[in-house]
């Protein structure tokens, strides 16, 4: 047999078997998962990948067969993403999220969270003082649908009824609705951070205004503590979640506006990934808050228990997020 004329043929004779094996393995991984491979294949995979990658380098320099180079390029790319680019298994990711990533992301946002808290608190106090001074302000802050009769003209009995009354029709549905609605708002707060955090700040201020407005209605009737307990059972979780969502938005907005030593692009990426991790946690917190609000609040009817549950949740979250923990090597 005569020697092949061109490099492409020579090259194929020497390596085609390796390429085809790699292609078969990568195809198997793409269609199913890495678990579909046997032990031998698994051991051979990195070697085959490097062989093919070096084939690509050589082919680019010595062969003029464009189809061969294109084939090797796509094979290497597919193998690369199967080897380096694929997320780790779902279970590993979930474990890492709860053990490290979530609390670490929230911890890293502490400054923004504090700012969000101050902003909301100031807005709440302002709304409270304004409405105590002139009740007509109430209607500027809260629309009728949300107030549902709980406005400055309501009687003490009616307000009391809204706090302690029994309303167990469609309880759980209401909880589910609240969860989806609040989560959607939290995701907005996060995404709106991209506009230099201004809309996020407005959203937080509005939350604070609503809180202050309701207190201004309930406190004159001696129901301030009752409202606080009514809010606390789910509110410590929910408001905390909203604050973190706002903080996540702030982080993105400030990273884009003031990137510091990083380039604007790198700062946005670092902030975006961190904030998104915190946001995933926010949705989970809102799920918990929805359960507490829809079910817990309607079944637990005494101020003490409501306040106790609320305080316990708050302590739990604070401990989970901010207690110093061992830095692991990873």
Partner 1 sequence: MRRNRAPRTRVRSFVTPEGVDLRLELGSAGARAGAFMLDTVMILVVLVLGTLAILWLLSGARQGELLMILWLLGAFTLRNGWFILWELGGRGATPGKRMVGLRVVARDGGRLTGGAVVARNAMREIELFLPLSFLAQRGAEGSADTAMTIFALSWSGLFLFFPLFNRDRLRVGDLVAGTWVVQTVKAQLGAELAAERPRRHFPEAALDLYGVYELQTLEGVLRGGQADSVATVASIIRRKAGMADDGDDLGFLNDYYAALCARLERGLMVGRRREDKYAR
Residues 177-236 that bind partner 1 (CB under 8 A): 177, 179-180, 183-184, 187-188, 190-192, 194-195
The Cα–Cα gap between 114 and 243 comes to 8
Q: How far is CA 56 from the centre of its chain?
A: 40
Residue closer to partner 1, measured from CB, 48 or 127 = 48
Residue closer to partner 1, measured from CB, 72 or 163 = 72
Residue closer to partner 1, measured from CB, 1 or 157 = 1
In angstroms, give the least distance from the CB of 272 to partner 1: 3
Q: Would you count residue 50 as binding partner 1 (CB under 8 A)?
A: yes
The Cα–Cα gap between 219 and 180 comes to 30
Q: Would you count residue 173 as binding partner 1 (CB under 8 A)?
A: yes
Instruction: Print the binding letters for residues 110-149 with partner 1: x by CB under 8 A, - otherwise.
Output: ----------------------------------------
Could you give phi then psi for residue 112, rounded to 5 degrees? -65, -40
Question: Under rule CB under 8 A, how many of the chain's residues touch partner 1?
Answer: 78
Provide the residue count of the chain. 330
221-225-228 Cα angle (round to 5): 115
Residue closer to partner 1, measured from CB, 213 or 274 = 274
In angstroms, give the least distance from the CB of 48 to partner 1: 13
Q: How far is CA 282 from CA 102, 111, 144, 170, in A?
A: 9, 17, 28, 25
Who's near 148: CB < 8 A, 6+ residues apart?
162
And the tokens for 222? 């001696």
Q: Would you count residue 47 as binding partner 1 (CB under 8 A)?
A: no
And the tokens for 229? 């307990």
Q: Would you count residue 14 as binding partner 1 (CB under 8 A)?
A: no
- Identify the residue among 22, 25, 29, 124 touching partner 1 (CB under 8 A): 29
Using CB under 8 A, which residues numbered 258 to 277 contact partner 1?
A: 265, 268-269, 271-277
Is 212 in contact with 126 (CB distance < 8 Å)?
yes
- Identify the residue among 37, 41, 44, 78 touching partner 1 (CB under 8 A): 78
């Amino acid at each position: 047999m005569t020697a092949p004329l061109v490099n492409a043929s020579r090259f194929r004779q020497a390596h085609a078997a390796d390429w085809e094996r790699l292609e078969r393995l990568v195809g198997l991984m793409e269609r199913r998962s890495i678990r579909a491979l046997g032990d031998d294949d698994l051991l051979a995979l990195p070697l085959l990948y490097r062989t093919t990658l070096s084939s690509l380098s050589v082919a680019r320099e010595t062969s003029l067969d464009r189809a061969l180079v294109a084939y090797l390029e796509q094979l290497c790319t597919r193998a690369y993403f199967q080897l380096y680019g694929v997320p780790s298994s779902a279970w590993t990711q979930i474990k890492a999220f709860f053990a490290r990533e979530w609390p670490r992301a929230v911890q890293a946002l502490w400054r923004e969270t504090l700012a969000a808290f101050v902003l909301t608190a100031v807005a709440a106090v302002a709304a409270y003082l304004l409405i105590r001074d002139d009740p007509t302000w109430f209607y500027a802050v809260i629309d009728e649908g949300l107030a549902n009769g709980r406005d400055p003209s309501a009687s003490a009995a009616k307000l009391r009824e809204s706090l302690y009354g029994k309303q167990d029709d469609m309880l759980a549905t209401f909880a589910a609705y609240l969860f989806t609605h609040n989560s959607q708002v939290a995701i907005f707060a996060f995404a709106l951070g991209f506009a230099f955090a201004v809309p996020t700040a407005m959203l937080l201020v509005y939350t604070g205004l609503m809180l202050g407005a309701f207190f201004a209605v309930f406190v004159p009737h001696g129901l301030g503590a009752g409202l606080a307990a009514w809010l606390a059972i789910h509110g410590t979780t929910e408001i905390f979640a909203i604050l973190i969502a706002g903080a996540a938005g702030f982080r993105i907005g400030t990273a884009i506006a003031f990137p510091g030593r990083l380039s604007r692009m790198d700062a946005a990426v670092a902030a975006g990934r961190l904030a998104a991790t915190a946001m995933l946690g926010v949705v989970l917190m809102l799920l918990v808050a929805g359960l507490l609000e829809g079910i817990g609040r309607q079944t637990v009817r005494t101020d003490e228990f409501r306040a106790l549950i609320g305080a316990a949740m708050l302590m739990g979250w604070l401990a989970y997020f901010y207690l110093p923990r061992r830095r692991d090597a990873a």
